[in-house]
């Protein structure tokens, strides 16, 4: 019964992850808040459960990342059949930009991962970042800028690197990786569609790298792992993958006709709720 309940919880986590990963509202904040109400308890030892959760909340995002690869396969694969040399060159250039953007994030992630887990992974910090980035998204829409980057092909290596620097902010729980990159890109003159698409593509190496780092640390620490915990994690990833297929297309359709203000308002409301829950000891 305990295993089945954890499996159901993981599927629910995956659904929430699939929805929130592609909206600038912080998937991590949602998962951590949910964990306060319906925690995964696969092991008898509380420390083992905490270690597994630290791994789970990152690796579950791979399901969402695989959905991006599936949806944008033709945009991302330079080695597909019957592709022109020009198209192949364009895709390879895009991957070069993605890797350039990942350099500052990767370095910061490796250097600051332990510090962030120890000092910044608190409900107070997440609440603060939810509200702050929400305000920034609303301010961004109230002060429109000239759009000079209207396609990924027009992104320069410098702007890609600068986007990666903005993405460093997403290491702080509650910020939202897409929220940080979309805000930074808009400040640099990206139009909404280009900002969202490039943010989606940046997630691929970033989340693969973050997941690999967590797995290496988890194994190196000799943390408990079992077939049951692997199945629970896989169930969450599959749910995240399935839901992400729908949400990615929704987000692209929505942003072609609307702006990001609604996400800013949602973030502020969620941040206030989290502050109240934290003040009353509901959230750790």
Token pair belonging to 211:
């997941």
What is the distance in angstroms between the CA of the first residue and the CA of the last residue of the chain? 27
pLDDT of residue 283: 81
Give the tens place of pLDDT for each residue, 191-246.
Answer: 999 999 999 999 999 999 989 988 888 888 887 778 899 999 999 999 999 999 99
pTM, two decimals, is 0.93
State the maximum Cα–Cα separation within the chain, in Å, rounded to a whole number.
61
Domain ranges of the chain: 2-279
Report how far residue 282's alpha carbon sits from residue 199's, in angstroms, rounded to the nearest whole number.
33
Which is nearest to 40 in space by CA: 20, 61, 60, 18?
Answer: 60
pLDDT of residue 213: 87
Which is nearest to 271 in space by CA: 72, 21, 32?
Answer: 32
Phi/psi of residue 149, nearest 5 degrees? -115, 100
* Positions in the chain whose pLDDT score sits under 50: none
């Amino acid at each position: 019964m305990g295993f089945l309940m954890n499996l159901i919880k993981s599927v629910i986590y995956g659904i929430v992850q699939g929805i929130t990963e592609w909206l600038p509202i912080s998937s991590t904040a949602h998962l951590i808040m949910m964990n306060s109400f319906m925690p995964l308890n696969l092991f008898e030892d509380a420390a083992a459960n905490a270690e597994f959760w630290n791994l789970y909340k990152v690796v579950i995002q791979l399901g969402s990342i695989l959905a991006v690869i599936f949806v944008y396969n033709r945009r991302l694969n330079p080695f597909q059949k019957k592709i022109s040399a020009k198209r192949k060159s364009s895709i390879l250039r895009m991957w070069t930009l993605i890797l350039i953007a990942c350099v500052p994030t990767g370095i910061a992630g490796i250097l600051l991962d332990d510090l962030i887990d120890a000092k910044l992974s608190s409900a107070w910090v997440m609440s603060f970042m939810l509200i702050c980035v929400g305000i920034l998204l609303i301010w961004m829409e109230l002060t429109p800028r000239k759009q000079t980057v209207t396609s990924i092909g027009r992104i320069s290596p410098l702007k890609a690197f600068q986007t990666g620097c903005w993405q460093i902010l997403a290491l702080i729980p509650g910020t939202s990786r897409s929220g940080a990159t979309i805000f930074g890109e808009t400040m640099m003159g990206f139009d909404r569609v280009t900002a969202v698409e490039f943010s989606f593509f940046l997630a691929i190496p970033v989340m693969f790298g973050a997941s690999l780092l967590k797995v290496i640390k988890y194994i190196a620490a000799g943390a408990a792992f079992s077939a049951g915990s692997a199945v629970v994690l896989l169930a969450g990833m599959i749910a995240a993958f399935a839901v992400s297929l729908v949400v990615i297309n929704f987000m692209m359709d929505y942003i072609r006709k609307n702006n990001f203000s609604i996400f800013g308002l949602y973030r502020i409301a969620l941040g206030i709720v989290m502050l109240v829950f934290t003040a009353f000891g509901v959230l750790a």
